[in-house]
Amino acid sequence: MKEIEEEIKEETEEDIEEDEEINEEELKEEKIMKEKIKEEEEGITETEKEEKKEE
């Protein structure tokens, strides 16, 4: 019984570590996407400003 409990405990700890790594990766990807969107929005704004100046 103790062996089974230890094995389950180890697997659970490994699963938690894997989940944390996945969450970190997802957060990094989400941050990158938000930065890209912000850059795109700022780029559009700058383009609009330039167009207005030309008119």
22-42 burial code (b ≥16 CB/10 A, e <16): eeeeeeeeeeeeeeeeeeeee
- Whether 9 maps to a domain, the answer reads no
Structure confidence by residue, pLDDT tens digits, 24-51 = 999 999 999 999 999 888 887 777 767 7
- pLDDT band of residue 53 (cuts 50, 70, 90) is confident
- Whether 6 maps to a domain, the answer reads no
3 CB contacts (<8 Å, ≥6 apart)? none
Domain that residue 44 falls in: 21-55
Q: What's the domain count of the chain?
A: 1
- Whether 8 maps to a domain, the answer reads no
- pLDDT band of residue 55 (cuts 50, 70, 90) is low
Q: pTM of the predicted model, to two decimals?
A: 0.58
- Whether 42 maps to a domain, the answer reads yes
Query: Averaged over 10-37, what is the pLDDT?
Result: 95
